Structure 1
């Protein structure tokens, strides 16, 4: 009985010693890892900030952190003065770095949400920046929707690639941008903002929603900037035989 008790005590002591040694090793490893890394100061969000918040009202919700330079995001805010007179364009979450392209002039934010027409639905799709006219599409614009996909044609299920502009002058309700690739939109470029994905919210009736989702799921979707005066004629299904003269 005494032998078992002594063995149990020894096991607990060894476990405690092992934990202390492991913790010390991890801390030492972290110190070694950061010792040679260049560190920079960044602003991060402490608590959630709703979209439309004035920068002056959100200042108390920012804090400065030291992080390795490799982890610092391009286009981050380096001086709070860069946000003077702006409001948050999207909701910001705790821990994210403060990015200049997430803050806009109040008048731009006021125009960023467009009312949904009666009888239509809202549909959001995420597209690469090059599929959205280089990022120049904004809320209130009308766009054309082009779908490319591979279809199996009867009777032998031969695969043929088709492209067609399936809708014209579709109303854009909202646009939100992600991060990492240089923007072409003039205002964003002026702020040195970067992004690679754009979430576009469109207004369409039920049948059109289904077709857009099909294109996004089984092919690829491209948007054109198509103002009211744009010519809609000439839209048809295109395959390689129509593109190239063989």
Structure 2
């Protein structure tokens, strides 16, 4: 019996040592992969944050992470003090990097907008980089770009955003967010077609946005410019 217990104990010890060695190797591999790469420390969201959440209440929902500089979003925040007095403009999802564009004065952040007369609601789920890095909120105006194999075009301009909801995340990376917009029937069919058979990108617009020159562009034309 004692020999059996000793054998079991030795097996458990070897398993623990093996796991520790594997963990150390994996960590070393990560370090080697980033060796020579310039890195920056930024704040990243770890759990969903609701619209109009004060920056002073975010400490439990964000973490400080070191990322390769190439993976850092422009303007990424490194300390919550940079956002003092501001609230979130929309829902933040796990994996989001904090940027000033996702925050505003409390009085400037609107709740869910009403559907304008004659229009209908349409919700689309998109990855963070396709919705201006998630810096969208109810009341914003956007353009919808449809991209197919070898060509793309601005499909719809001046689309009102009704609300923005977090998508499904794995806790470490952003899987996207659901943007609900108000559109006319003809525009619904354009957006749905692009979602089903192509790809969609959303642009954030304002009253000074130049929406001219939005015709179809092919890959050949891009390379000739």
- 8 Å CA contact 2:165–2:177 kept in 1: the answer is yes
| Distance (Å, rounded) in 2 between the aligned partners of 1:48 and 1:128 | 14
Matched, 1:25 2:4: no
* Contact 1:89-1:109 at 8 Å conserved across structures: yes
Q: State the Cα distance separating 1:213 from its structure 2 match.
A: 0.8
Which residue number corresponds to residue 70 of structure 1? Answer: 68
- The Cα offsets for residues 164-220 of structure 1, whole Å up to 9 and x where unpaired, read as 87666543435799xxxxxxxxxxxxxxxxxxx997532135564244211222235
| Aligned pairs for 1:90-105 within 5 A | 90-93=90-93, 97-105=97-105
Partners of 2:211 and 2:99 lie apart in 1 by 38
Residue 149 of structure 1 deviates from its aligned partner by 5.5
Q: Using the alignment, how far apart are the partners of 1:239 and 1:41 within structure 2?
A: 38
Deviation at 1:16, TM superposition (A): 1.1
Q: In terms of Rg, which structure is larger?
A: 1
Q: CA RMSD in A?
A: 5.4
State the distance in 2 between where 1:19 and 1:149 align: 51
Per-residue CA deviation, residues 17-57 of structure 1 (Å, 9 max, x unaligned), is: 3213213323543675659968865545566432211123x
C-alpha distance 221-99 of structure 1, shift in aligned 2 (>3 A): closer
**Judging changes above 3 Å, is the alpha-carbon distance between structure 1 residues 146 and 22 closer, same or farther for their aligned structure 2 residues?**
closer
SS of equivalent residue, structure 2 residue 68? helix
Aligned residues: 197
Matches of 2:94 and 2:211, distance apart in 1? 46
Matched with 1:54 is: 54
Which runs of no fewer than 5 residues in structure 2 stay unpaired? 167-175
Q: TM-score, normalised by structure 2?
A: 0.54
Separation (CA, whole Å) in 2 of partners of 1:137 and 1:49: 13
What SS is found at the alignment partner of 1:202?
strand
Cα distance change on mapping 1:60 and 1:206 into 2, 3 Å = same
Q: Does 1:213 align with 2:192?
A: yes
Q: Secondary structure at the match of 1:82?
A: helix
